[in-house]
Amino acid sequence: EQQMLAIARALLSNPRLLVLDEPTEGLAPVIVEKIGQTIALLQQRGFTILMVEQNFRFASHVADRFYVVEEGRVVSQFARDAITTDRARIESLLGI
């Protein structure tokens, strides 16, 4: 609920870019689902969202593009469709 409140507060200023840092960290699955629904709604309304998220399962449902960062550097980037079309590469990047 704190995360939802933080998102709502950020939206009060009508931002062009919404930055979310680990929005699902430590949250119950039901709250994670609500945050995902909120992010999807914001995307439908045209918001640009930059999100840092370690929960790849969650991110894969809401993100259009992915950037893998190691030691402060982007080492790879890919679009959502690569999750299914280049699964071996994605699993290798994520250490799965």
* Total residues found in the chain within this entry: 96
pLDDT digits (tens, 9 = 90+) for 13-51: 888 899 999 999 988 999 999 999 999 999 999 999 999
Q: What is the 3-state secondary structure (H, E, C) of 41-80?
A: HHHHCCCEEEEECCCHHHHHHHCCEEEEEECCEEEEEEEC
> Residue 58 pLDDT > 70, yes or no?
yes
> Residue 2 pLDDT > 90, yes or no?
no
Beta bridge partners of 78: 66
Whole-model pTM: value is 0.77
Q: For residue 16, which of 40, 66, 50 has the smallest C-alpha distance? A: 50
